[in-house]
Structure 1
Amino acid sequence: MVGKRITIQFANDETATADWVDYHELFNPHSDGYQDTSSSSSGPIVGEHVYPWLDIILGSDTGGSIRGPSEAQGLYGNRPSHDPVPLTHVILLAQELDTSGLLTRIWYF
């Protein structure tokens, strides 16, 4: 494990509207500067772009936190059925839906 990246406040069960803005949103290095990075696993995915020596990133997904950022930033994301890596010491939003998943620049799966 290399480290832990910051994430935006997506997993709070609130719909993002004009009055709900996360001022700590990361810059999307894959886009033109106007597209957001998507949801909560976006911090590690930005790290995948910035640090070419990162091969595989571990993230968590409840409602699209792996699939959304990987789509918005042009990477591969895999959300397996449930618990390939235990989410010990992670604050869960919905225990029956939360699972870990892998993100990568190159297709390894």
Structure 2
Amino acid sequence: MTLYFSGISWTLVYDTIYAHQDKADDSIIGLKSTALKFGDNTKPYLSLFGSSMITSLAITGLMTDQTWPYYVGLLLTSCHIGWQIGTLDINNPADCWKKFSTNRYLGLILFMSIVASNLLK
């Protein structure tokens, strides 16, 4: 359940970043996106979701007896999420796309750390 919750939290982070690219169009057509809902308060919400993601992943690691590579990956994931949120310019669509696109690397980091951790069990 904690792994699932971390996935939901991560989705809220990257989807909100993605939604900021076309928030003007969303507003015109009446689409209700997290980018419009959070507005200028987006970064605190992203920080909350990012923190809940990392916390949930840490709990998952403890519950499944993960080894040190998992926690190295978790540290890298935490740094990556912090970088994304800290440097994000929600009013710059190109920057939003850049930050959104880096989530493929975050997924790779998580995947590799889970595999490496389980190989050491």
Normalising to structure 1: TM-score of the pair? 0.28
* Higher CA-based Rg: 2
Whose relative contact order is higher, 1 or 2, with alpha carbons under 8 Å and at least 6 apart? 2
Normalising to structure 2: TM-score of the pair? 0.27
Q: Which has the higher strand share?
A: 1
Q: Which has the higher helix share?
A: 2
